[in-house]
Amino acid sequence: MADAPRARRLAKRIIQIVASTLEHEVKDPRLAMVTITDARLTADLREATVYYTVYGGEADQTASAAALASATGVVRTAVGRQTGVRHTPSIAFVPDAVPEGAARMEELLAGARAADAEVASQAAAASYAGEADPYRKPREDDDLDGDLDEDLEPVDTGSDSEVPGALGGPAR
């Protein structure tokens, strides 16, 4: 089995070789709008999956898939010749789903932005259900000199002698 760094290096090289071969050696007009996006290799380096995207509609994608299927032999020969590995990997072309996923993600983000803008506009026009400031504030005193003891009335609690067990009072 090959180590992961070697497989990554070989995958990068396969991307370059496949793109160059499709551009220079394969003379098929259906491959004009094909872009090679990624390549993955199995651990034993025997099978390569090459991902591609096509600029155009569904008909262009179908035509490009057929053109890639017919050019697989030429591409595999070029990969074997230019990589120098003992066993040339078999090549499978797979349409890349990343652009469609990215487009779907953009649609979802646009919907979320629209919902956020709607909530922000509703919040700007809204008013509080209760008071604007629901927190209690300290009371304002009329006494500005800060002497609160003069304003208090003395409370009669009785003498200390009447309290049972108080110092100086009668003990029972």
Answer yes or no: is pLDDT of 163 > 60: no
pLDDT digits (tens, 9 = 90+) for 113-151: 999 999 988 888 887 777 777 787 777 765 555 555 565
Q: What is the pLDDT of residue 155?
A: 66
Q: Which residues contact 50 (CB under 8 A, 6 or more apart)?
A: 14, 15, 18, 36, 38, 39, 91, 92, 93, 94
What is the average per-residue pLDDT within 1-7? 78
How far apart, in whole angstroms, are the C-alpha atoms of residue 65 and residue 51?
A: 11
Q: Where are the beta strands (DSSP E) in the chain?
A: 34-41, 47-54, 90-95
- Compute the average pLDDT of residues 63-92: 92
The strand ranges marked E within 4-100 are 34-41, 47-54, 90-95
Closest CA to 10 of 88, 83, 74: 83
- Please, which residues have CB within 8 angstroms of residue 75's CB and are 6 or more apart in sequence? 17, 18, 21, 22, 26, 91
DSSP state of 81: H
Check residue 154 and give its pLDDT. Answer: 64
Question: What does the domain layout of the chain look like in residue ranges?
Answer: 4-97
Tokens representing residue 140 in the block: 């304002």
Predicted local distance difference test score (pLDDT) of residue 135? 80
pLDDT given at position 2:
64
pLDDT of residue 110: 95
- Categorise residue 45: left if φ over 0, alpha if ψ from -120 to 50, beta otherwise: left
**What is the arithmetic mean of pLDDT over 95-101?**
86
Residue 152 has pLDDT above 70, yes or no: no
| CATH classification for the domain delimited by 4-97, as one of 3.40.50.10260, 3.40.50.620, 3.40.50.10140, 3.30.300.20 | 3.30.300.20
Tell me which H or E stretch contains 61: helix 58-70
- Calculate the alpha carbon distances from 158 to 44, 154, 155, 161, 164 in Å: 100, 12, 9, 8, 12
More confident residue, 163 or 69: 69
Q: What is the pLDDT, as a whole number, of residue 57?
A: 86
Q: What digits encode the pLDDT tens for the residues 9-57?
A: 999 999 999 999 999 998 888 888 899 999 999 989 999 999 999 998 8
Q: Report whether pLDDT(98) > 70.
A: yes
Q: What is the pLDDT of residue 164?
A: 58
Q: Report pLDDT for 100.
A: 83
